[in-house]
Amino acid sequence: MTAATSDSAVSRYGTGEIPVNKLPRNWRKAGIVTAFSAIPVTLLVVFTYLPFASMVGYSFFKMKYIGARRWVGFQNYVDVFSRPDTLSSLKLSLYYMVGAILQVLLALYLSSVLAFKVRGGNAFKAIYFFPYLINGIAVGFIFKFFYTRGFVFDTVLQWCGFQLDQLPYWLRDQAVNNWSLVGSSVWRNLGQAVILFIGSIMSIDSSLYEAAEIDGANKFQQFRHIILPGIRTILVLNVILSITGSLTAFEGPFVITTGANGTATIFVLMDRLAHINQKVGLASAMAIVLLVIILIVALLQQLFFKYVFRGADDGTEAARKRARKIERQRRKMTKKAAPIFRNGPSHNPASSAVGNPLNNLPNQGEKTVA
């Protein structure tokens, strides 16, 4: 083809309506990407999405693992909010939510100390993080003997001057047994939150602290105006992980108390209904309700932190959004004005100087003067 052919094509389609010149597709690269993605996507669909779809279908039936099914519609969902045992298991999640909030606050305090130069800081980091590496079943057995009458915890309290007959049964007394299980959960998961907070605090520029000290800011003011805005992403992540973990507590109550004496969380109750009582439909409905509750709680947390940190942005995020918007507009205009031939002439130079829409876009590197 010649330049005359290109000029005729330009005159035919117009300057702003030239079709995009697509490069030849790299089929070898596409095949490699597809081959490597096929196995994990297949595993995800087979072992996650298909069982979830089956569980949604089971929630509308009264059924056992073996035997006939009977369609009951939304009756299982009505039973979730009307049965006393399911309501009590949902209420137990409030204990673990309170423990999750205390866990985040304690982790935030410890990480604010350990993120800076402290004598023996590495040893304390290892001590806090070590329980998170222990298997949850093992942690359950540890605390089962720890809270048993006359064992470790009672012995330590007797050394402090308490009498054994004055102490409650930590796993039997319903006034304290759920708080005992919450304490074991906080002990195990505290290290993860501490390590995440320490990493995010250490990524903050140290010159900000120096400037704040010159301006006369104390440690609390530095924490409020430098650390909190700088770690807000990790703070939101930690809160979401802690709250969702509190709603799905299973290993501790199952191993330590087997759900007895009013300690059956919603996961323990689901296991009992599905595998012992063979009420598969009701257990599936409980799982769907729990998923909806987790999604709602996560959304409320996002809205809460968005409101709390509404004034923490110094203009950087807004500038990034404007830059991304300008870049999208530039790419859109570039596709419209793309030449037909990669190395050939695109169109008349005179028309490009006059009617090129890219000339109307601001340069991304230019700074806007307020």
Going from the N-terminus, what domains does the chain have, and what CATH number goes with each?
Answer: 86-278 (1.10.3720.10)
DSSP assignment, residue 171? T
What is the tens place of the pLDDT at every residue in 21-46?
455 667 788 888 888 899 999 999 99
CA-CA distances (angstroms) from residue 216 to 209, 211, 220, 224? Answer: 11, 9, 12, 14
Q: Which residues pair with 70 in a beta bridge?
A: 62
Collapse the DSSP code of 71 into the 3-class scheme (helix H, G, I; strand E, B; otherwise coil) and give the result: strand
Higher pLDDT, 221 or 354: 221
The DSSP secondary-structure symbol of 311 reads T
Tell me the CB-side half-sphere exposure of residue 24, using CA atoms within 13 A: 3
pLDDT in tens, 69-84: 899 989 999 999 998 9
Whether this prediction's pTM lies above 0.85 is answered by no
User: How many angstroms separate the Cα of 368 from the Cα of each of 323, 329, 363?
Assistant: 11, 18, 10
pLDDT digits (tens, 9 = 90+) for 285-323: 999 999 999 899 888 888 888 887 776 655 566 677 788
Contact 283, 264 (CB under 8 A): no
Q: What is the pLDDT of residues 214-266, one digit of tens each?
A: 888 888 888 888 888 888 888 888 888 888 888 888 888 999 998 888 899 99
pLDDT at site 340: 52
Q: Alpha helices of 59-176 — where are they, by DSSP H?
A: 75-80, 84-114, 121-133, 136-146, 152-159
- Burial of residue 195 (number of CB atoms within 10 Å: 0-12, 13-18, 19+): middle
Q: pLDDT tens digits, residue range 134-179?
A: 988 999 999 999 999 888 999 999 999 888 888 999 999 888 999 9
